[in-house]
Amino acid sequence: MKLLNSMMSRFVKVGQLTIIDADGKHHVHGSGGDPKATIRLTDKSLYRTLFLNPELKAGEAYMDGTLICEEGGIRGLLKVFLHNRGGLRSHPIQKVLNRTLKKLKKLHQRNKKSASRSNVQHHYDLSNEFYRLFLDEDLQYSCAYWPSLDISLEEAQRLKKKHIAQKLCLTPGQTVLDIGCGWGGMAIYLAQNYGVKVVGVTLSQEQFALGLERVKELGLEKSVDLRLTDYRDLEENFDRIVSVGMFEHVGVAHYEEYFSKIKSLLAEDGLALVHSIGRKGGPGTTGAWIRKYIFPGGYSPALSETFAEIEKAKLWVTDCEILRLHYAYTLAEWDKRFQANRDKVAAMFDERFCRMWEFYLVISEFSFLYGNHMNFQIQLSKDVHAAPVTRNYMMDDETVSS
């Protein structure tokens, strides 16, 4: 425990973390006060592995049940972690590890077509019934839009779709491409409410199959065309392009390819809208635990590296909006619904899966509340005249259902 205690003493400066070792001895770190958590380590091998790679091994130990939250629960532990993350990463060993991971970032994100399909299947093909347990009725698996907090998740997700639709400046008869269309919710919404024809592409077998069912049930076969294909294989032209929660899976090495493809698919007077998780500050790396267990090949980009690639594609950035806390509110609602259905999740998978998923939901929520994550919406065009000259049209009547 000596090395681990040494690291924890440097790490915990805000709040308090108590570690109960495998022999029952208490080790208290921090100045006291909130945030506060107490954990028990039941395996002595954790003393070394947590010292060498705490960001990966803490999550694994929680999944395995060898790290037990005695006080404060997983929320308390992760709140201590996020409030003190800078101190942990300033430790000499962690500095070396993080420098190495940054150098390897492009290797972690080499998302060629075969890798992209495999990465999507790892996460999105778990089970449609599983996702129904915690998402809204439309199965929107991305940041909702919260003009106020006294609305339901369903309403916030509907407002997200409407907010994006307003930025697309849609008129009946236009063609729209939805890159990474998920279960078809955005495509269906646009077709039903704006009279447009939508092509949606996904690499998830489960999402594609259910999306087709939904389109058929609603009688939208003539206006919504869902395809199980890579966006890079498309050759058509579209008046509008929308991409929600997909850019995070592109990978830094493929950003130029992504924006160049958008440009080639977009009509000369067209508009595109990219909605993505991003990070404050400069480029970084995806946490080892998230990369290994949740989103292999995934990465939340910095604005600097995103805009640099847009410039290479010679596209106009006609608008950029930062949504700072909206995803934190969304994730909190997902976690509430997940916890309410935890027994059903355990029956579908097992207890280890439940602990993995709750760790993912809470650390993701806290990365927006206390960390450096946010969402951005970037509007793009080929022609400087493609979008209106003021932003008023984007905010029109966002609280009225449609």
Q: What would the mean pLDDT of 238-243 be, rounded to a whole number?
A: 98
Greater confidence (125 vs 2) lies with 2
Residue where a domain stops, chosen among 52, 72, 103: 103
Position 326 pLDDT exceeds 60: yes
Residue 106 has which token pair? 């492009």
* pLDDT higher at 97 or 163: 163
Average pLDDT over residues 281-300: 90
pLDDT at 101 over 60: no
pLDDT of the residue at 97: 56
Report whether pLDDT(370) > 60.
yes
Higher per-residue confidence, 90 vs 319: 319
Among 70, 103, 136, the domain-final residue is 103
For strand 15-20 and strand 36-41, is the pairing parallel, antiparallel, or unpaired?
parallel
Residue 219 has pLDDT above 70, yes or no: yes
Check residue 402 and give its pLDDT. 44
Domain that holds residue 41: 2-103
Q: Does one domain contain both 367 and 274? A: yes
Least confident of 18-22, 115-119, 223-227, 348-352: 115-119
Q: Is residue 16 located within the same domain as residue 47?
A: yes
Q: Is 401 inside any structural domain?
A: no
30-48 pLDDT, tens digit each = 988 999 999 999 999 999 9
pLDDT band, residue 94 (cuts 50/70/90):
low
44 and 131 part of one domain: no
367 forms beta bridges with: none
Q: What mean pLDDT is predicted for residues 268-275?
A: 98
Give the residue carrying structure tokens 């570690």: 19
Judge whether residue 116 has pLDDT over 60. Answer: no
Token pair, residue 285, equals 């790396």
Checking if the pLDDT of 382 tops 80, the result is yes
Q: For residue 177, tell me if it sits in a domain.
A: yes
- 204 and 343 part of one domain: yes
Asked if residue 161 and residue 34 are part of one domain, the reply reads: no
Asked if residue 99 belongs to a domain, the reply is: yes
Global confidence as pTM = 0.90
- Token pair listed for 315: 């596209």
What distance in Å separates the CA atoms of residue 53 and residue 36, rounded to the nearest whole number?
Answer: 22
Calculate the average pLDDT of the chain. 91
Residue 352 C-beta-side C-alpha neighbours within 13 Å = 7
> Which of 121-125, 139-143, 145-149, 180-184 has the lowest average pLDDT?
121-125
401 pLDDT band, cuts 50/70/90, is very low
What tokens does 253 get? 């090495």
Last residue of a domain, one of 103, 119, 137: 103
CB-CB contact of 183 with 139 (8 Å): yes
Residue 400 has pLDDT above 70, yes or no: no
Is the residue at 402 inside a domain? no
Q: Are 140 and 147 in contact (CB under 8 A)?
A: no
Give the number of domains in the chain.
Answer: 2
Instruction: Kindly report the three-state secondary structure assignment for every residue of the chain.
Output: CHHHHHHHHHHCCCEEEEEECCCCCEEEEEEECCCEEEEEECCCCHHHHHHHCHHHHHHHHHHHCCEEEEECHHHHHHHHHHHCHHHHHCCHHHHHHHHHHHHCHHHHCCCCHHHHHHHHHHHHCCCHHHHHCCCCCCCCCCCCCCCCCCCCHHHHHHHHHHHHHHHHCCCCCCEEEEECCCCCHHHHHHHHHHCCEEEEEECCHHHHHHHHHHHHHCCCCCCEEEEECCHHHCCCCEEEEEEECCHHHCCHHHHHHHHHHHHHHEEEEEEEEEEEEEECCCCCCCCHHHHHHCCCCCCCCEHHHHHHHHHHCCCEEEEEEEECCHHHHHHHHHHHHHHHCHHHHHHHCCHHHHHHHHHHHHHHHHHHHCCCEEEEEEEEECCCCCCCCCCHHHHCCCCCCC
| Cross-strand partners of 175 | 197
The pLDDT > 90 percentage for the chain reads 77
Tens digits of per-residue pLDDT, 172-183?
999 999 999 999
Residues 127 and 32 in one domain: no
The residue with greater pLDDT, 99 or 242, is: 242
- Average pLDDT estimate for 287-298: 90
- Split at pLDDT 50, 70, 90, the class of 399 is low
Q: List the CATH number of the domain containing 208.
A: 3.40.50.150
